[in-house]
Amino acid sequence: MSEQVNISELVGQEWGIYIDGKSQKASTAKTVDLLSPANGEKIASVAVGAAEDVDLAVKSAHKAFKEWGALTAFERERVIKKALDYVRTQADRLGMLMALEQGKPFAQSRKEILGSCDTIDYYASEGPRIEGYINPVEKSNYRSLVMYQPIGVCGLITPWNYPVSLLSWKLGPALATGCTIVVKPTMVTPLSPTAFCMALVEGGIPPGVLNVVTGSGSVVGEALVKHPMVKKIAMTGSSDTGKRIMQTAAPYLKKVSLELGGQCPAIVCADADLDNAAYVIAYKGFRNCGQSCSSVNRVYVHESVHQQFLEKLKIEAEKLSLGDGVIEQDVDLGPMTTVDGLNIVKAHVEDALSKGATLITGGKAPEGVKYQQGNYYLPTILDQATDDMQVMRDETFGPVVPVQVFQDLKDAVEKANDTTYGLVSYLFTKDLRTAHETSETLEAGTIAINCGSVNTNYAPYQGWKDSGFGLELSRKSVFEYLKTKHIKIELV
Ligand code: NAP
- C-alpha distances out from residue 187 to 24, 44, 46, 266, 270, Å: 17, 12, 8, 32, 45
- Write out pLDDT tens, residues 44-56: 999 999 999 999 9
Q: Based on C-alpha coordinates, what's the Rg of the chain?
A: 23
Residue 186 Cβ contacting ligand 1 at under 6 Å: yes
How far is the centre of ligand 1, averaged over its atoms, from the C-alpha of 137 (Å)? Answer: 46
**Which of 157, 222, 292 is the pocket-test mutation for ligand 1 (most atoms within 8 Å of CB)?**
157
For residues 153 and 481, give the distance between their C-alpha atoms in angstroms, rounded to a whole number.
10
How far is the centre of ligand 1, averaged over its atoms, from the C-alpha of 236 (Å)? Answer: 6
Residue 247 Cβ contacting ligand 1 at under 6 Å: no
Residue 324 Cβ contacting ligand 1 at under 6 Å: no
293 is catalytic: yes
Give per-residue burial for 16-46: e unless 16+ CB within 10 Å, then b: bbbbbbeeeebbeeebeebebbbeeeebbbb
How many other CB atoms are there within 10 angstroms of residue 138's CB atom? 7
- Write out pLDDT tens, residues 445-478: 999 999 999 999 999 999 999 999 999 999 999 9
> Which atom of ligand 1 has the smallest separation from the CA of 261?
34
470 phi, psi to nearest 5 deg: 80, -170
- pLDDT of 404 over the 80 cut: yes
DSSP H helical ranges for 287-402: 306-319, 339-354, 390-393
- pLDDT of 428 over the 60 cut: yes
- Write out pLDDT tens, residues 290-307: 999 999 999 999 999 999
The overall average pLDDT reported for the chain is 98
Cβ contact 230:155 at 8 Å: yes
Q: Where are the beta strands (DSSP E) in 100-197?
A: 133-134, 142-150, 153-158, 180-185
Cβ contact 117:88 at 8 Å: yes
Within 13 A of 125's CA, how many CA atoms are on the CB side?
Answer: 10
For residue 261, the model assigns a pLDDT of 96
For residues 48 and 35, give the distance between their C-alpha atoms in angstroms, rounded to a whole number.
15
For residues 244 and 261, give the distance between their C-alpha atoms in angstroms, rounded to a whole number.
14
**Which sign does the torsion angle of CA 228, 195, 286, 440 carry?**
positive
For residues 187 and 32, give the distance between their C-alpha atoms in angstroms, rounded to a whole number.
9
- Tell me the sheet residues that pair with 138: none
For residues 429 and 272, give the distance between their C-alpha atoms in angstroms, rounded to a whole number.
4
Within 13 A of 130's CA, how many CA atoms are on the CB side?
Answer: 31
- Write out pLDDT tens, residues 144-192: 999 999 999 999 999 999 999 999 999 999 999 999 999 999 999 999 9
- Write out pLDDT tens, residues 341-379: 999 999 999 999 999 999 999 999 999 999 999 999 999
Cβ contact 144:486 at 8 Å: yes
End-to-end CA distance of the chain: 73
Antiparallel, parallel or unpaired: β 17-19 and 13-15: unpaired
Largest CA distance in the chain: 84
Q: How confident is the model at residue 3 (pLDDT cuts 50, 70, 90)?
A: low
pTM comes to 0.97
For residue 154, the model assigns a pLDDT of 99
How far is the centre of ligand 1, averaged over its atoms, from the C-alpha of 223 (Å)? Answer: 16
Residue 49 Cβ contacting ligand 1 at under 6 Å: no
- Write out pLDDT tens, residues 385-402: 999 999 999 999 999 999
Cβ contact 24:321 at 8 Å: no
> Which atom of ligand 1 has the smallest separation from the CA of 215?
47
According to DSSP, residue 288 is labeled G
Residue from 115, 113, 75, 91 nearest 206 by CA: 75
How are strands ordered across the β-sheet holding 482-490? 133-134, 142-150, 482-490
> Which atom of ligand 1 has the smallest separation from the CA of 184?
9
**Which of 104, 186, 224 is the pocket-test mutation for ligand 1 (most atoms within 8 Å of CB)?**
186
* pLDDT > 70 in the chain, percent: 99
- pLDDT of 2 over the 80 cut: no
* pLDDT > 90 in the chain, percent: 99
Residue nearest to atom 37 of ligand 1 (CA): 260
Q: Where are the beta strands (DSSP E) in 407-455?
A: 421-422, 424-428, 446-449
Residue 244 Cβ contacting ligand 1 at under 6 Å: yes
**Which sign does the torsion angle of CA 274, 275, 277, 281 carry?**
positive
Residue 466 Cβ contacting ligand 1 at under 6 Å: no
> Which atom of ligand 1 has the smallest separation from the CA of 241?
3
**Which sign does the torsion angle of CA 425, 427, 433, 438 carry?**
negative
For residues 334 and 332, give the distance between their C-alpha atoms in angstroms, rounded to a whole number.
7
Residue 158 Cβ contacting ligand 1 at under 6 Å: yes
